[in-house]
Amino acid sequence: MVKAAYSRDTTPGTSPRTRILVAGGGYVGMYTAIRLQQKLKSELERGDVEIVVVSTEPYMTYQPFLPEAAAGSISPRHVVVPLRRVLYRCKIVSGEVRSVDHAKRTATFTTLATEEEGAGAIRIEYDELVLAPGSVSRTLPVPGLAEYAIGFKTVEEAIGLRNHVIEQMDIASSTREPALRDAALTFVVVGGGYAGVEALAELEDMARYATRYYHNIKPEDLKWVLVEASNRILPEVGEEMGKYAIRELRARNIDVRLDTRLDSCENRVAVLSDGSRLPTRTVVWTAGVKPAPVLAATDLPLNERGRLKCTAELTVEGAEHAWSAGDAAAVPDVTAKEPGAECAPNAQHAVRQTKVLAENIVASLRGQPLQTYAHKYVGSVASLGLHKGVAHVYGRKLKGYPAWLMHRAYHLSRMPTFNRKARILAEWTLSGLFKREIVSLGSLEHPRAEFELAAGGVPSRPLARRHEDPPLSARERRRGRTPGTRPGAPGAPSGEAPGEDRGRKGPDAPGVTEEG
């Protein structure tokens, strides 16, 4: 482990520069850093303060738009915000925080160059810590899940899933085997929260539209199955709107299975708890999230769910100069009637918490009193595909086109930067004038395969099987994981447990899927 150039600056004759370390570049990390660089502009220009952002990705993904990106309504590059562009007064480090020793005010992290350098993890000292690693997919020990399932928390997974669905239709159109055709046209989505329902609804819309360009596939040939372990879907929009969503999905020939679990998906057969066996080449797992594993590698207090114990001022309990918000933090909900209630881990709270968080850090540096975070949950909106949706906002219930329009308007207003807002609005306008794109660009995931074959070598992934395995995330590719393996799967690198892959924050509108 090396200390490198990340120790605090101590220029002779001056006071040490105050370093604010932001661990995470998601909702909380990016929005907090944006507000800090605004509030501390003069201190940053004088060199009295330094803001360092350590993020596994050089961009923030606006996850509520992932379903539309998967359906082709929005370009993938427009649902992400480059950190280096918006955090121009901060130092951006592309890396992953591995541990935190807050008693010594140090954190260790690895970068893309760490393995090449062979020097081990890097240690960085800090004065103020914003720990915002977000959440990862919450998985269960389901046989075959690690080998065959696809997640839906990153932009890579969303686009990989789009390519996969279109390729399954290509396979079904060209095969002579009825069993292979049926399996290719069967799509199983596990999880009835916002991530699962919106992903299924958008992809089903896209696939149904695409059938008009296949001479031997009809819309009724597609089989979409939604598996939910509880007795309802979309609980955040209320029971009435949840039942409406079920009726809407079933009217589109989508098989909604309530009180049902996925018991196995080995050998490309989804076995459900109701006894059903569904041969399928597509299993999408969206069954909740859990706090990022790095929280367990800190000396900060955690609750029973593995989230940081925080105060209403967004400080970590019993730890001075440590702050958190969003999925990683258990923040008391001071507006709730029930004692001990906590704010839901969704984007609606996360984005609003960052404003208070940044202002409290500035107040702490300047010796001023801290604010208390208080926000009453206003409701939720969800898309059920093009021109369809449900909403429960400020006690009012909307469905159909008005709810869908509200969903788009709300999330467009929340999308960071005018640049991204304008591009998304332009794409929506053009999509209303022209036909949907139904092209699969799966070869982009393995651009060297054709050249390797032409050069007389063996492709790292056989050309005929490019999409038989779930798409790899950017993090997996950086770590050199071989195609077709997942943590805990045969051939996967040791040291990682199933479900520890970094995932996206699922839409839970106006926010994201709640934990659990």
Please, are residues 138 and 152 in contact by the beta-carbon 8 Å criterion? no
State the pLDDT confidence band at 448, using cuts at 50, 70 and 90. Answer: confident
State the pLDDT confidence band at 379, using cuts at 50, 70 and 90. Answer: confident
Number of domains in the chain: 2
Q: Are residues 229 and 308 in the same domain?
A: no
Kindly state whether residue 158 falls inside one of the protein's structural domains. Answer: yes
Where is the domain boundary, 231, 256, 287? 287
Q: Are residues 48 and 168 in the same domain?
A: no
The residues pairing with 125 across neighbouring beta strands, listed in sequence order, are: 106
Kindly state whether residue 185 falls inside one of the protein's structural domains. Answer: yes
CA distances (Å), origin 443, targets 123, 391, 457, 464, 469: 38, 38, 18, 11, 13
State the pLDDT confidence band at 254, using cuts at 50, 70 and 90. Answer: very high
Burial of 57 (0-12, 13-18, 19+ CB in 10 A): buried
Q: Are residues 155 and 243 in the same domain?
A: yes
Please tell me the least confidently modeled range out of 41-50, 374-383, 396-405: 374-383
pLDDT digits (tens, 9 = 90+) for 184-218: 999 999 999 989 999 999 999 999 999 999 999 99
Please, are residues 393 and 378 in contact by the beta-carbon 8 Å criterion? yes
Burial of 101 (0-12, 13-18, 19+ CB in 10 A): middle
pLDDT at 8: 58
pLDDT at 445: 67
Integer Rg of the chain from CA: 23
Q: Are residues 297 and 258 in the same domain?
A: no
In the chain, the amino acid numbered 334 is V
> Which structural domain range is residue 196 located in?
149-287
**Mean pLDDT, rounded, of the chain:** 84
Kindly state whether residue 415 falls inside one of the protein's structural domains. Answer: no
pLDDT digits (tens, 9 = 90+) for 295-311: 999 999 999 999 999 99
- If phi > 0 it is left, if psi is from -120 to 50 it is alpha, else beta; for residue 498 that is beta
State the pLDDT confidence band at 502, using cuts at 50, 70 and 90. Answer: very low
3-state secondary structure of 176: coil
- If phi > 0 it is left, if psi is from -120 to 50 it is alpha, else beta; for residue 328 that is alpha
- CATH of residue 223: 3.50.50.60
If you ran DSSP here, which 8-state letter would residue 256 be given? E
Q: Are residues 35 and 99 in the same domain?
A: yes
Please, are residues 390 and 234 in contact by the beta-carbon 8 Å criterion? yes
If you ran DSSP here, which 8-state letter would residue 324 be given? E
Kindly state whether residue 4 falls inside one of the protein's structural domains. Answer: no
Where is the domain boundary, 287, 322, 356? 287
Q: What are phi and psi of 140, to 5 degrees?
A: -125, 160
Where is the domain boundary, 365, 396, 417? 365
If you ran DSSP here, which 8-state letter would residue 183 be given? H
Over 50: is that where the pLDDT of 11 sits?
A: no
Q: Are residues 51 and 172 in the same domain?
A: no
pLDDT digits (tens, 9 = 90+) for 341-377: 898 887 788 889 999 999 999 999 999 999 999 988 7
CA 415 – CA 351 distance, rounded (Å): 11
Q: What are phi and psi of 501, to 5 degrees?
A: -60, 145
Q: Which two tokens stand for residue 154?
A: 């990153």
Kindly state whether residue 208 falls inside one of the protein's structural domains. Answer: yes
Q: To 10 degrees, the CA torsion angle through 208, 213, 215, 220?
A: 10
CA 37 – CA 63 distance, rounded (Å): 24
